[in-house]
Chains A and B, each alone.
Chain A
Amino acid sequence: MPLMPPPATPRLPRPREGRRRFGGLFAALVALALPAFAIADTAAVVTDHARPGFAAFATAAEALAAVDSCAPDDLRPAFQAAWDAWTGVAHLSLGPAEDGGRGLAVLFWPDPKGAGWKAQRALLAAGPADLTPETMAGLSVAARGLPALERLLYPAEPLAADPCPLIRATARDMARTAQDLARDWQGFGDLLLSAGQPGNTRFLSPAEATQALFTQLVSGLESLADRRIGRPLGSFDKPRPDLAEARAAGRSQRNILLSLIALRDLAQKLSPDSPQTLAAFDRAIALAETLHDPDLSGIAQPAGRLKLDILQQAVRATRDSAIAEIGPALGVGLGFNALDGD
């Protein structure tokens, strides 16, 4: 089967100018009254980054579920578009994505013990009778979401049974999850926006909402460096291109690049005046664009591995810049994140 090339790399979003929030005199008065912290633009993150991002994923997932064909060639463009959309919001693992493990149900990776394929083989063997939306929602997250669809649309070996009912059920289940995420970001966004107001027990002050978003930025960069890049990078003697994410779909490099673009957008919305961090992002993005290694096969060779190694360092440097520049500027520390236990 011919590999469907991923869509062309999107152009970088143009950096948005920081909003002018106050007139000159008023700004001077505020500066006298408040500590000298920049005001985090939580509203921009919610309304211009998170909500449209999750809405776009819901639209893309619905478009995939609506494809009236089971031929991989017909499904792959919509599948690639859905993964693109998810990469725009995958780093927002707090709130709706954490509730009910929805983020894991969209993307459970890595899966070192192959739990997903094991469960899917059993589903294929059992036949279509049990594939209701309810049973899909109750399955192990390893058997759901994007990697599960990838195994059916880009199979490593010919599938023993007709995958059509399972493809449809998995795509439908993911579309429902995506819709729930977009819906719940309305309420959760309101919680972020009303931080510190009476009745908001989740965020007791605006700084708590800022800290939560700042923590997502930093943990997103850590996850990118340690997992998406770090796992295939392996050691110098033993690079592991076989452990790259989304390899069968030929989008390992693309996921790295789109993650960086999404995280840059978050950083820039959260704290527009962050020249060092944004410059570090731009350097990492340029390196990710010039890997020319869609499924990271090239890292089996020392020269290819070196390029990925340099990219990992650039991502870590971006994280360090964000910690050094954005945290102090916004007057917040780093919160705990889901990777702390690793």
Chain B
Amino acid sequence: MRLLTAFALSTGLASAALAATPAEVTQTYADIALAAYQDSLTTAKALQAAVAALIASPSEATLQAARQAWLAARVPYQQTEAFRFGNPIVDDWEGRVNAWPLDEGLIDYVAGDYGNEENALARLNVIATPKFTLSGIEIDATQITPALIRDTLHEADGIEANVASGYHAIEFLLWGQDLNGTGPGAGARPYTDYLQGEGCTGGNCDRRAAYLQAATDLLVADLQEMVGNWQEGGPARAAVTRDPQAGLLAMLTGMGSLSYGELAGERMKLGLMLNDPEEEHDCFSDNTHNSHYFDGVGIRNVYLGRYLRLDGSVVEGFALADLVAAADPAVDAQLKAELEASVAALGAVKAAADGGLAYDQMLAPGNAQGEELIMAAVNALVTQTASIERAVTALGLSKVTFEGSDSLDNPNAVFQ
């Protein structure tokens, strides 16, 4: 009996393993990417409509509705972040939609002590300044258009902190600066910042409305472009499916780089070490706990080959986990457990924030509970990174060859 069970188990494993091929796994990966970017686009269009309503009739209600639409849009988008590293076509585009941290004084009014010694434009305030000089060139910004934001303002002067477009620029225009430091409370921009004519606060309400609308339109266009990249025949899909081995490496690179350098390091641990609420990813809206949590979920999605869509349907198929299990069941079991543990630890941060301890409060010096919550998530992410490296090894892949791979360093090379 015992023998029989063991035999059944081993054949079960073997058949599952035989069923999945790298080509099928990268197919699932591309399908999940497409679905997640489609959901991001859908929610960005809802945001676009909510922004139009806010501008048409500014009120507390329309401002709150626009903020809710922004928060909803972050849920699918953050799950796409696992596609960023490893796919140059995504990484090269990402700065347009999710660049952070930003010198928001480039865009609009900010409090008195704000500055950045490396960035002469940190207090430009385009909304209040229709004409200005940039690197010696006269800029006419009397009309605020998507093209002005994309081509002239974004990363102006070659400085990455000059973030003029994307989710965080829109977030700033909906919430305003969070001036509460590590105390409770998010940005508190009044809806009257959008009142046209009498009652306008913050000055230049017409130009502020134009900026918000243009930035939102640009976000929708950028997401549309990325959806196209992952559709049948799209270059992002082609890059990972044409050479499935390179696709598998892109999958694991995205998981590992987001886990370690980006989320655990830049976005979580560094903010804690600096006790700096401006090192909070969604700092204006106090939504950082959700952004981090859905990053974690996105990493797990890639490994398990499963994505829960906004409408409740599920996109799933042959998974990276199947391939790793066939190559080294111990690595697969450990990585699965560690992915669950990191999602749980990020979930604990989220639960604490939902319960009233905002992420920026967790960063306060001496907040032992906050530090413990954040470090538990950081440690879980660092731990899973080692197993992601083991999965790379188990599948016989190498980041060394990846680093030198023309097709991945230069996405266009694939199509020449």
| Residues of A in contact with B (beta carbons under 8 Å apart) | 98, 101, 104-105, 108, 112-115, 138-142, 202, 204, 207-208, 211, 234-235, 238, 240, 243, 320, 323-324, 327-328, 333-342
B358-385 to A contact mask, C-beta < 8 Å, 1/0: 0000000110000000000000001001
The complex places the Cα of A138 from the Cα of B365 at a distance, in Å, of 7
Query: B363: nearest residue on chain A (CB-CB)?
Result: A140
Contact B261 A101 (CB under 8 A): no
Contact B116 A113 (CB under 8 A): yes
CB-defined contacts of A243 to chain B, threshold 8 Å: 118
Instruction: Pick the residue among B273, B275, B389, B392 that contacts A104 (CB under 8 A).
Output: B273
Of the stretches B169-177, B230-238, B304-312, B396-404, the one at the interface is B396-404
CB-defined contacts of B22 to chain A, threshold 8 Å: none
B16 to chain A, nearest CB (A): 24
CB-defined contacts of A204 to chain B, threshold 8 Å: 390
CB-defined contacts of B265 to chain A, threshold 8 Å: 338, 341
B151 to chain A, nearest CB (A): 18
Given contacts A112-B118, A238-B158, A341-B266, contact A336 B261 (CB under 8 A): yes
Given contacts A112-B118, A333-B393, A336-B388, contact A324 B404 (CB under 8 A): yes
Main secondary structure of the interface of B (DSSP, over half): helix
Query: B400: nearest residue on chain A (CB-CB)?
Result: A327
CB-defined contacts of A234 to chain B, threshold 8 Å: 158
The complex places the Cα of A327 from the Cα of B272 at a distance, in Å, of 34
| Residues of B in contact with A (beta carbons under 8 Å apart) | 85, 115-119, 158, 161, 256-263, 265-267, 269-270, 272-276, 278, 365-366, 382, 385-386, 388-390, 392-393, 397-400, 402-404
Contact A142 B404 (CB under 8 A): no
CB-defined contacts of A202 to chain B, threshold 8 Å: 386
Contact A101 B118 (CB under 8 A): no
The complex places the Cα of A98 from the Cα of B378 at a distance, in Å, of 11
The complex places the Cα of A240 from the Cα of B157 at a distance, in Å, of 13
CB-defined contacts of B266 to chain A, threshold 8 Å: 341-342
Query: B274: nearest residue on chain A (CB-CB)?
Result: A140
Contact B261 A338 (CB under 8 A): yes
Instruction: Pick the residue among B261, B365, B366, B399 that contacts A334 (CB under 8 A).
Output: B399
Contact B365 A342 (CB under 8 A): no
Given contacts A101-B269, A104-B270, A342-B266, contact A333 B392 (CB under 8 A): yes
Given contacts A112-B116, A112-B118, A140-B273, contact A340 B400 (CB under 8 A): no
A265 to chain B, nearest CB (A): 22
Known: A323-B400, A333-B400, A340-B256. 19 other contacts (CB 8 A): A104-B273, A112-B118, A112-B119, A114-B116, A138-B365, A139-B365, A140-B275, A141-B274, A320-B404, A323-B403, A327-B398, A333-B389, A333-B392, A334-B403, A336-B257, A336-B260, A340-B257, A340-B262, A341-B261
How many cross-chain pairs have Cβ atoms below 8 Å apart between A and B? 103
Contact A340 B85 (CB under 8 A): yes
CB-defined contacts of A138 to chain B, threshold 8 Å: 365-366
Contact A142 B274 (CB under 8 A): yes
A15 to chain B, nearest CB (A): 24
CB-defined contacts of A323 to chain B, threshold 8 Å: 400, 403-404
Q: List 18 A-B contacts (CB under 8 A).
A: A108-B274, A112-B117, A113-B116, A113-B117, A138-B366, A140-B275, A333-B399, A334-B399, A334-B402, A334-B403, A335-B389, A336-B260, A337-B260, A337-B261, A341-B257, A341-B261, A341-B262, A341-B266
Contact B260 A338 (CB under 8 A): yes
CB-defined contacts of A207 to chain B, threshold 8 Å: 393
The complex places the Cα of A207 from the Cα of B392 at a distance, in Å, of 13
B135 to chain A, nearest CB (A): 8
The complex places the Cα of A234 from the Cα of B257 at a distance, in Å, of 26
Contact B276 A140 (CB under 8 A): yes
Given contacts A140-B275, A141-B273, contact A340 B261 (CB under 8 A): yes
A12 to chain B, nearest CB (A): 28
The 4 closest A-B pairs by CB, nearest first: A341-B262, A340-B261, A341-B261, A340-B257
